[in-house]
Amino acid sequence: MADFMLPGGIDPTTPVIVGAGQASERLDDPDYRMLGEADLAADAVRAAFADTGVDADRVAALVDVAAAVRSFEKSSPASSSPLGRPNNMPRAVAARTGMNPRRAVEEVTGGQSPQHLVGEFGAEIAAGATDAVLLFGAEVISTVRAARKHDNPPDFTETVDGPLEDRGYGIAGLTSVDEVRHGVMTPIAQYSILENARRHRLGRSRAEYAAGMGALFAPMTEVAAANPHAASRQVLSAADLAVPTEENRRVSVPYTRRLVSRDQVNQAAAVLLMSAGAASAAGIDPSRWVFVHGYSDLREPPMMERPDLSRAPAATAAMHTALDMAGIELGDVAALDLYSCFPIAVSNVADAFGLEADDPRGLTVTGGLPFFGGPGNDYSMHAIVEIVHRARRAPGSFGLVAANGGILSKYSVGVYSTAPTPWPASTSAAVQHELDAAARVPLTRYADGRATIESFTVLDPDRDDRAGTVVGRLYDGTRFIAAADGDDLLDLLCGNEDPVGRTVYARSSATRNVVALSRAELDVRHPLSTVGFAEEYQDLIVRRDGRVLEVTINRPDSRNAISPRTNAELDAVFDAYFADPELWVAILTGAGDKAFSSGNDLASTASSGGLSMPENGFAGLTARRELPKPIIAAVNGFALGGGLEIALAAHVIVADETATFGLPEVKVGLVAAAGGLVRLPRMLPPALARDMILTGRRLTADEALAHGLVSRIASRGDVLTTARAVADEILAASPAAVRASIATMRETHSTPDTVTAVRDSLAVLDDILVSPDTMEGVTAFVQKRAPRWTGR
């Protein structure tokens, strides 16, 4: 086949889309084949190769890079492959389609990834780094769910040799610990919160807002009905979508089932990018070439930090950035596809650009995620395929694909046309810098007191076990998330009245925040803990000896690891210690001779959800704002991970000669976030601290003493005796002076200038000089007798 000449003025490194194809199957198709992910993807790749108009084997041999969109079976640490999967999806598909790529890439999680890959590899082609890149993605969620019910389900496991550039999940920041603690783990819950914030901003009733969502999506069902690859080909009215029925149950406030993305699909899509020079050499007719005229990739901050929960300006900015790059307005676009996992993903952009639901161009070219289907992260690959085909049918026209990932978190936009254009340089970094300059909302992890509702949702609102979540603001303007408590509040959230702005009352615990409509309700269902010592503890031995409190972590079988219950008991004990005027010194140690504490009890923590920690931190100490009275850590074995973090929070550490100290978190994929990352570099030489944190290196007792981590070493088995001797020495000093010294050290710790810190520390004398203990100390010194301290 003869090569085509390059059209005039086109640089041979200009990237062009030369092939685009799709594949799909439904369970009720007469020719349904129960294909696995790799086989269905291969069908889409073959369709893309055929779309080039030249010999498929010739094209396949040219592919240098095969990049796969990450499927749902690999989208998070919690995902799984019930029927197995290839270990190297790009190369599994390559083997089926005649490719032997130099690079095999698996992209990060997110619906933005297909459009992002076009921009990334378009830039690589333009830079001369490669000549041909195959992008593809596939989902067979419908097949996997159905096949698991069979007696002999297929096994899609496959081992393929060859390197794989696995880019990981890329989901950091999309869901916070606080959201997980309060049940906001699914996109339905997260998007519902954003949607209800928008409803409040627009001042609409629940019924009005639901009707608007139905009207926005109803035209999409008509597009899906005409698409042979759509999962649903049923035309539905606005009422069919928005009004709850047995077939269209409410999945949340405000969504019905038909208003959310459909994940049970078997769909695949592929796009072939080549340099103009390589395309010409391959004999691909320039009339099939589609150029990228504009592209952008922008991000929002985490959901809970956004200034306005009802808006996502990064999506709007991404649209403007890509259109500006293309030198056109949105009105110049002939066909567009706005990512439509949930209504607000569309309305967020439509609001900014004045788009109406009945725009004659339509807001989707596929039928949208609830109707065409939401094939995992790969939906927008299908949109790109459709836009490519439309661009060819109307040469010189423009098409736009807007792809969303996360919780309106990552937004990628592409503008396409057959009109030749050089590859434009990205401007996204500059725009992202502008977006990042916006102020973020400060957060409160543990919320207590009067607050107002900022947004909310209720999952499965028509079930007896409905679960409500509130995003609220405290008096100081900080934002928090909490579980809605009580039927009255849940009824308000599910009703016609807009609850945003209503007063609620928040109360925190180790596991979560709750809000209710009154303090009285909280007091009944979540009474405040009484400060004081309990008659009995399950995980501790608590002993008073005059002015000294001795606390022993009594879990020797688990090497004194801290479980959620241990955390709660220690938190309560230290509350009682600080509140008891008769106690002046506390000693904390571990039972047995093996361990002070091995840190977090991972087994019990995992079984309880992994997120139970008091507001005062690990062991009730590591995040406590004030430790006004001295605590001695008597380390009687190893202090590892959280065990070392507990010791670091104490005022004095004494160690058995056999003790060891370390932060091994990185060895199990964790980090020392309960104080180790902050306190250890402040207590040890920075190089040594970094060594311990990054490698898990342990220090012996002698090394810890040499570097100033501990103050005294006891003979084997005598650490508690040594700690008691230190306590006696502290008791011999003025308790008022000891406490004032502790407070002053804490207050001046972060002052970098020594002279300023010294001058600031003089303020401590204002209280000490009028203390009865100071007068007693001076008098006893003059009279040459032991002082009789009062603690005042």
- Is 617 in contact with 674 (CB distance < 8 Å)? yes
Residue 3 lies in a domain: no
Q: Domain check: are 265 and 407 in the same one?
A: yes
Q: What is the pLDDT of residues 483-502, one digit of tens each?
A: 999 999 999 999 999 999 99
Q: What is the pLDDT of residues 533-551, one digit of tens each?
A: 998 999 999 999 999 999 9
Q: Domain check: are 576 and 635 in the same one?
A: yes
Distances (CA, A) of 784 to 474, 731, 769, 772: 55, 18, 20, 18
* Cα 232 from Cα 240, distance rounded (Å): 14
- Is 19 in contact with 48 (CB distance < 8 Å)? yes
Amino acid at 247: E
- Is 343 in contact with 195 (CB distance < 8 Å)? yes
Residue 388 lies in a domain: yes
The fraction of the chain above a pLDDT of 90, given in percent, is 83
- Which pLDDT value is given to residue 4? 64
pLDDT averaged over every residue in the chain: 93
**E strand or H helix at 481, and its extent?**
strand 479-484
**End-to-end CA gap in the chain:** 98
Spatial CB neighbours of 495, under 8 Å, sequence gap ≥ 6: 206
* Cα 614 from Cα 598, distance rounded (Å): 18
Q: Domain check: are 140 and 270 in the same one?
A: yes
Positive/negative CA dihedral, 185, 431, 473, 408 = negative
- Is 645 in contact with 624 (CB distance < 8 Å)? no
Selection from 165, 158, 139 nearest residue 65 by Cα: 165
* Cα 637 from Cα 640, distance rounded (Å): 9
Has 645 been annotated as catalytic?
yes
- Which pLDDT value is given to residue 740? 83
* Cα 704 from Cα 654, distance rounded (Å): 10
Distances (CA, A) of 767 to 395, 687, 762: 83, 39, 10
According to DSSP H, which parts of 585-718 are helical?
Answer: 602-607, 642-649, 676-683, 686-695, 701-706
Number of domains in the chain: 4
Q: What b-and-e string marks burial along 71-83, b requiring 16 or more CB atoms within 10 Å of the CB?
A: bbbbbeeeeeeeb
**pLDDT (mean) for 192-215:** 97
Residue 2 lies in a domain: no
Residue 188 lies in a domain: no
Neighbours of 287 (CB within 10 A): 11
> ∠ CA 536-538-540 to the nearest 5 degrees?
85
Neighbours of 46 (CB within 10 A): 18
Selection from 322, 186, 208 nearest residue 263 by Cα: 186
- Token couple for 271: 């796009």
Domain extent, residue 755, equals 745-783
- CATH number, domain with residue 504: 2.40.50.840
* Cα 1 from Cα 109, distance rounded (Å): 40
* Cα 519 from Cα 504, distance rounded (Å): 8
Q: Domain check: are 19 and 158 in the same one?
A: yes
- Is 125 in contact with 59 (CB distance < 8 Å)? no
- Which pLDDT value is given to residue 554? 96
Q: What is the pLDDT of residues 722-776, one digit of tens each?
A: 999 999 999 999 888 888 888 888 887 777 777 776 776 676 666 666 677 777 7
- Surface-to-core class of residue 307, CB atoms within 10 Å of its CB (0-12 exposed, 13-18 middle, 19+ buried): exposed
Q: Within the chain, what is the greatest distance between any pair of CA atoms? A: 112
Q: What is the pLDDT of residues 409-456, one digit of tens each?
A: 999 999 999 999 999 999 999 999 999 999 999 999 999 999 999 999
Q: Domain check: are 518 and 593 in the same one?
A: no
- Which pLDDT value is given to residue 782? 81
Amino acid at 708: G
Residue 3 has pLDDT above 70, yes or no: no
Q: Which long-range contacts (CB under 8 A, 24 or more apart) does 737-740 make?
A: 737/768, 737/771, 737/773, 737/774, 737/777, 738/584, 738/629, 738/630, 739/628, 739/629, 740/764, 740/767, 740/768
- CATH number, domain with residue 152: 3.40.47.10
Domain final residue pick, 494, 525, 556: 525
Q: Which residue has the tokens 């981590």?
A: 709
> ∠ CA 78-83-88 to the nearest 5 degrees?
75
* Cα 371 from Cα 222, distance rounded (Å): 9
- Which pLDDT value is given to residue 773? 75
Residues in the chain: 792
- Is 622 in contact with 585 (CB distance < 8 Å)? no
- CATH number, domain with residue 606: 3.90.226.10
- Which pLDDT value is given to residue 751? 75
Domain final residue pick, 380, 407, 436: 436
Residue 4 lies in a domain: no
Q: Domain check: are 624 and 754 in the same one?
A: no
Residue 604 has pLDDT above 70, yes or no: no
Q: Domain check: are 485 and 346 in the same one?
A: no
Residue 463 has pLDDT above 90, yes or no: yes
Q: What is the pLDDT of residues 324-377, one digit of tens each?
A: 999 999 999 999 999 999 999 999 999 999 999 999 999 999 999 999 998 889
User: Read out DSSP for 602-646?
Assistant: HHHHHHTTS----TT-GGGTTT-S---S-EEEEE-SEEETHHHHH
**E strand or H helix at 334, and its extent?**
strand 333-338
Spatial CB neighbours of 650, under 8 Å, sequence gap ≥ 6: 588, 621, 631, 632, 633
Residue 509 lies in a domain: yes
> ∠ CA 202-204-210 to the nearest 5 degrees?
115
Selection from 231, 236, 234, 428 nearest residue 315 by Cα: 428
**pLDDT (mean) for 591-613:** 77
Q: What is the pLDDT of residues 673-683, one digit of tens each?
A: 999 999 999 99
Strand-pairing partners, residue 398, are 333
Residue 582 lies in a domain: yes
Q: Domain check: are 432 and 453 in the same one?
A: no
Q: Domain check: are 629 and 491 in the same one?
A: no
Residue 691 lies in a domain: yes
Residue 298 phi, psi (nearest 5):
-135, 160
Q: Domain check: are 694 and 772 in the same one?
A: no
Selection from 22, 94, 21 nearest residue 62 by Cα: 94
- Which pLDDT value is given to residue 764? 60
Helices and strands counted in the chain (H then E) = 27, 25
Q: Domain check: are 666 and 724 in the same one?
A: yes
**pLDDT (mean) for 13-24:** 98
Selection from 467, 5, 505, 471 nearest residue 197 by Cα: 471
- Token couple for 380: 């927008």
Q: What is the pLDDT of residues 380-414, one digit of tens each?
A: 999 999 999 999 999 999 999 999 999 999 999 99
Please give the sequence-ordered ranges of beta strands (E in DSSP) within 52-146, or none if there are none. 65-68, 103-106, 132-140
**pLDDT (mean) for 189-200:** 98
Angle, helix 206-225 to helix 343-353, in steps of 10 degrees: 100
- Which pLDDT value is given to residue 1? 44
* Catalytic member of 106, 454, 645, 703: 645
* Catalytic member of 521, 657, 665, 747: 665
Q: Domain check: are 686 and 588 in the same one?
A: yes
What Rg, from alpha-carbon coordinates, does the chain have?
A: 32
- Is 64 in contact with 272 (CB distance < 8 Å)? no
- Token couple for 309: 């929960």
Distances (CA, A) of 243 to 198, 208, 212, 220, 689: 19, 11, 11, 17, 60
Domain final residue pick, 436, 471, 500: 436
